């Protein structure tokens, strides 16, 4: 687009919603109702995923949300003290992402010098049917109100995608490309790198114009357990689970001023299953040859290497959990029997159901049921589009699949699995409050709320590198050898940094022998000790990153070649040496939350009502990242218990309504006529909201303990003598001389110290708060009566009436729990975003009748 062409991408979003309701009363004791709803939300141009038109006349991708459902209810009054309500419902929500160009041509062509106007996104669908049966039986007996019943839900999750199933034709140039060379342009280009780049560009244009094919690739999926790979077959999965909940509760009015509520709920959820058993999981789990109890103890008795295979028929991801009893206890007490003071307290247990996405995330990682096939042209046989697209041969499905073999060609290989004893996570909640009427119609309440999460499900990488692994021959740990190599490299480079980048022991003054690294790197050739990939990690103090590189390095086509040639245990640096990442879902996470809440409220009386509440809370958790990709260091999990995403926080909210006491029925000008029409019927309203800033973590983003990709949430350290309070004192929105908006004093940046090799920073997670949020909304409403049943209403509404600017999280940031700020980033502390809207004023006129 060198001409700077611009256009507005068009989109439309037609929406249709239909609903129907039928009520029928059979008799005074029996009634029936039926509800049905159907709706379509068709977004032509998927703005949510930024898939709008790329060029006028071309269509983007579309998104269709379709929902339908119905419910029935039968209410039976058997006696004045016995009532039963039965309900049945069904709802089916689906989302279809469609690409009108997908499948319209037999292949997708990737061009070299231009951006394709076509999206390569494949059609995919998500569907979640739910069937629900509910019954509630209520019995009144003396001072007891007893309820019992059940809630049964049949859940389904269906997913399909055609991603990768259309052949992709690659027209890029290769070494054996039958094209142009510098000799084709005598006197114009020479053999310099700039000239070579020009020739490559000319060859790219030539390939585009002639349709010269370099490669054709296509993904093949297994359609059924015994089908092998099938051309054009999508990935289809259907998960099912059933939930059975039964409860009984008693609301017992012990005395006129004391009510006690007792209840017990039993919840049982079947283990989700894939109905076709078309799932691959690692045989024996994700730990490979290392026993789980010896996760970071290399050597010893090693088990079998990891293989992926189809799960057996009627497979369960983990064992049933059948002891999920959830008690509920609460009371309300008025100690002085005057209705002005009340005490309340309660405790309950709630079980957490994991959605199907957790299982899909795990299942989709494992290799075996999808494979990319390819056609690669040879120099001897040039291939062009005009001759038709070459057919990619259907590959053979080979299961079980050795990950040791697959790792040789894919050093970023991943595997994922479940703890076979996975339990249902639960949360215990408790609360206590005191409420007192302080003025007529005005009460003040103070509440304490808390909860504790137990056996929370998290998916984390158990295959972190072990920089403390000790070599039995030299007696060195990997970290010992790393520190020596770092010292040797610094001496080799010299004070001015101009010496050789070589971390080997060369006999220079101050250098030390390093037997462990001598063994590791001698097996890969002398050039490794000067290779920039290794020297950069060593110079940056990234012991974890270097361990990751070594554990995946191929020597003679074999991984991990450096470990094998050094005679070290195969699991010296990683529990599972055949993959880079081993995701494991289990119940190892926990959390707790405590908060105090204050509230003052007045019900509407004499033209005035208001409500104001303040909350202060703190959450602690060992959790960092997302539930499907926890970034917590596994070996430090039990001690890494710090501020969570909801902590610490201050929150204040207030709202109020005030009717001006002017006009008919009011204190002033209590009459009709013109005075009432002009001055009566005014109402003022306001909403005020304040939140303290979101917790933020200051990180270095260096692989000092684990690899860099798993260290994005590891905190920095502080310079000697600098405290956390010193850091917080340097926080505040300010503008520098260049006009940038900053959140930190730039002169303070040198006090952030990168973690030392083999360590994490001392500052901790969520140590500071981001910018706060404050906004005030205001409204003026004027109602003018026409008749007793008719009036005209004029509204003037001012959102963020004071036009307060609420700044976003500083850069460079990484969203998560909590968000992180990289102190080594080029724009550290720069604020380049805002939260909420600027002042918005809107007017409305309504006719009410």
Helix (H, G, I), strand (E, B) or coil at 423: coil
Low-confidence ranges of the chain (pLDDT < 70): 1-4, 101-106, 174-178, 187-196, 624-632, 637-639, 645-648, 814-817
* The pLDDT of residue 52: 77
Q: What is the pLDDT of residues 332-377, one digit of tens each?
A: 999 998 889 999 999 999 999 888 888 899 999 999 999 999 998 8
Strand-pairing partners, residue 74, are 32, 86
Phi/psi at 486 (5° precision): -65, -40
- SS (HEC) of 277-336: CCCEEECCCCCCCCCHHHCCCCCCCCCCCCEEEECCCCCCCCCCCCCCEEEEEEEEECCC
Structure confidence at residue 193 (pLDDT): 59
The beta-carbon contacts of 100-105 under 8 Å, at least 24 apart in sequence, are 100/59, 100/61, 100/62, 101/58, 101/59, 102/162, 102/166, 103/162, 103/166
Evaluate the CA torsion angle 566, 570, 574, 578 in order and state its sign: positive
Query: What gap in Å lies between CA 170 and CA 217, rounded to an integer?
Result: 8
pLDDT computed for residue 704 by the predictor: 95
pLDDT at 54: 75
CA distances from 182 to 190, 201, 380 (A): 6, 12, 21
Q: Are strands 820-822 and 813-814 parallel, antiparallel or unpaired?
A: antiparallel
Q: Give the Cβ contact number of residue 479 at 10 Å.
A: 22
Query: Contact at 8 Å (CB) between 517 and 534?
Result: no
Dig out the tokens for 790 from the structure.
């008719």
Query: Within the chain, what is the greatest distance between any pair of CA atoms?
Result: 107
**Helix runs in 340-437, H state only:** 356-365, 403-407
For residues 79 and 220, give the distance between their C-alpha atoms in angstroms, rounded to a whole number: 64
Which of 309, 327, 178 lies closest to 266, judged by CA?
Answer: 327
Question: What is the DSSP-derived secondary structure letter of residue 680?
Answer: S
Instruction: Retrieve residue 111's tokens.
Output: 């061009």
Q: What is the pLDDT of residue 300?
A: 82
What was the pLDDT predicted at 631? 58
Can you tell me which residue has the tokens 């059948």? Answer: 322
DSSP state of 155: E
DSSP letter, residue 71:
E
Rg of the chain, C-alpha, whole Å: 34
- Residue among 625, 445, 619, 478 at smallest CA distance from 544: 478
Structure tokens at 395: 């590959």
Size of the chain, expressed as the number of residues it contains: 849
Distance, in Å, from the CA atom of 605 to the CA atom of 442, rounded to the nearest integer, reads 10
The residues that bridge with 406 in the sheet, in sequence order, are none
Total Cβ atoms within 10 A of residue 488: 24
DSSP 518: H
pLDDT value of position 380 = 72
């Amino acid at each position: 687009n060198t001409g700077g062409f611009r256009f507005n991408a068009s989109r439309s979003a037609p929406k249709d919603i239909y609903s129907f309701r039928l009520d029928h009363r059979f008799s005074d004791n029996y009634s029936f109702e039926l509800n049905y709803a159907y709706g379509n939300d068709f977004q032509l141009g998927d703005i949510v995923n930024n898939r709008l038109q790329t060029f006028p006349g071309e269509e983007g991708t579309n998104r269709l949300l379709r929902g339908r459902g119905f419910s029935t209810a039968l209410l039976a009054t058997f006696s004045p003290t016995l009532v039963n309500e039965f309900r049945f419902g069904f709802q089916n929500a689906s989302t279809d992402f469609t690409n009108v160009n997908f499948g319209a041509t037999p292949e997708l062509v990737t061009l070299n010098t231009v951006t394709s106007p076509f999206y390569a996104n494949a059609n995919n669908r998500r569907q979640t049917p739910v069937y629900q049966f509910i019954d509630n039986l209520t019995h009144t007996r003396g001072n007891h109100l007893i309820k019992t019943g059940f809630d049964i839900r049949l859940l389904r999750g269906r997913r399909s995608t055609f991603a990768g199933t259309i052949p992709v034709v690659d027209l890029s140039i290769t070494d054996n490309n039958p094209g142009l060379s510098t000799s084709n342009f005598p006197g114009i280009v020479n053999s310099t790198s700039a000239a070579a780049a020009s020739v490559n560009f000319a060859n790219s244009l030539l390939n585009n114009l002639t349709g010269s094919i370099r490669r054709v690739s296509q993904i093949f999926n297994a359609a059924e357990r015994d089908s092998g790979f099938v051309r054009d077959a999508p990935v289809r999965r259907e998960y099912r689970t059933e939930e059975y909940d039964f409860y009984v509760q008693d609301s017992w009015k012990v005395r006129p001023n004391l009510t006690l509520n007792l209840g017990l709920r039993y919840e049982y959820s079947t283990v989700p299953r894939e109905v076709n058993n078309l799932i691959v999981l690692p045989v024996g789990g994700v730990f490979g040859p290392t026993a789980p109890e010896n996760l970071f103890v290399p050597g010893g008795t090693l088990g079998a290497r990891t293989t992926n295979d189809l799960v057996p028929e009627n497979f369960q991801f983990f064992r049933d959990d059948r002891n999920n009893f959830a008690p509920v206890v609460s009371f309300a007490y008025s100690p002085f029997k005057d209705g002005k003071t009340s005490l309340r307290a309660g405790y309950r247990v709630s079980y957490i159901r994991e959605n199907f996405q957790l299982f899909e995330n795990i299942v989709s990682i494992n290799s075996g049921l999808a494979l990319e096939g390819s056609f690669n042209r040879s120099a001897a046989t040039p291939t062009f589009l005009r001759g038709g697209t070459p057919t990619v041969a259907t590959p053979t499905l080979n299961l079980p699949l050795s990950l040791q073999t697959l790792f040789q060609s894919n050093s970023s290989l991943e595997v994922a699995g479940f703890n076979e004893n996975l339990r249902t996570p639960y949360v215990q909640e408790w609360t206590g409050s005191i409420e007192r009427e302080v003025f007529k119609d005005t009460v003040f309440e103070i509440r304490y709320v808390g909860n504790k999460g137990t056996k929370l499900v998290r998916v984390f990488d158990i295959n972190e590198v072990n920089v403390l692994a000790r070599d039995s021959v030299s007696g060195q740990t990997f970290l010992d050898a790393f520190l020596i190599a770092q010292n040797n490299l610094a001496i080799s480079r010299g004070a001015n940094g101009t010496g050789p980048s070589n971390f080997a022991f060369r006999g220079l003054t101050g250098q030390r022998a390093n037997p462990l690294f001598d063994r590791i790197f001698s097996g890969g050739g002398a050039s490794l000790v000067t290779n920039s990939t290794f020297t950069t990690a060593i110079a940056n103090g990234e012991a974890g990153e270097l361990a990751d590189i070594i554990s995946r390095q191929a020597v003679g086509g074999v991984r991990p070649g450096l470990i094998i040639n050094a005679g070290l245990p195969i699991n010296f640096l990683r529990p599972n040496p055949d993959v880079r990442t081993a995701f494991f879902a289990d119940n190892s996470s926990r959390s707790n939350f405590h908060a105090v809440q204050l509230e003052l409220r007045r019900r509407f009386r004499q033209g005035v009502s208001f409500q104001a509440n303040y909350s202060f809370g703190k959450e602690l958790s060992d959790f960092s990242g997302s539930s499907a990709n926890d970034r917590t260091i596994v070996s430090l999990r039990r001690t890494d218990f710090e501020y969570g995403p909801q902590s610490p926080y201050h929150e204040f909210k207030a709202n109020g309504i005030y009717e001006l006491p002017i006009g008919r029925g009011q204190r002033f000008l209590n009459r009709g006529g013109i005075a009432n029409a002009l001055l009566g019927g005014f109402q003022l309203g306001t909403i005020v909201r304040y939140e303290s800033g979101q917790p933020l973590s200051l990180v270095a983003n260096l692989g000092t303990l684990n690899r860099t990709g798993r260290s994005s949430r590891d905190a920095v350290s502080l310079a000697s003598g600098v405290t956390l309070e010193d850091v917080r004192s340097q926080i505040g929105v300010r503008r520098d001389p260049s006009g940038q908006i900053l959140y930190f004093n730039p002169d303070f940046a040198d006090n952030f110290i990168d973690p030392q090799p083999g360590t994490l920073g001392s500052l901790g997670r969520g140590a500071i708060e981001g910018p706060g949020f404050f906004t005030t909304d205001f409204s003026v409403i004027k109602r003018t009566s026409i008749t007793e049943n008719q009036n005209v209403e004029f509204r003037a509404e001012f959102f963020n009436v004071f036009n307060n600017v609420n700044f976003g999280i500083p850069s460079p940031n990484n969203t998560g729990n909590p968000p992180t700020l990289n102190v080594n980033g080029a724009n550290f502390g720069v604020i380049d975003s805002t939260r909420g809207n600027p002042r918005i004023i809107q007017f409305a006129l309504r006719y009410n009748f």
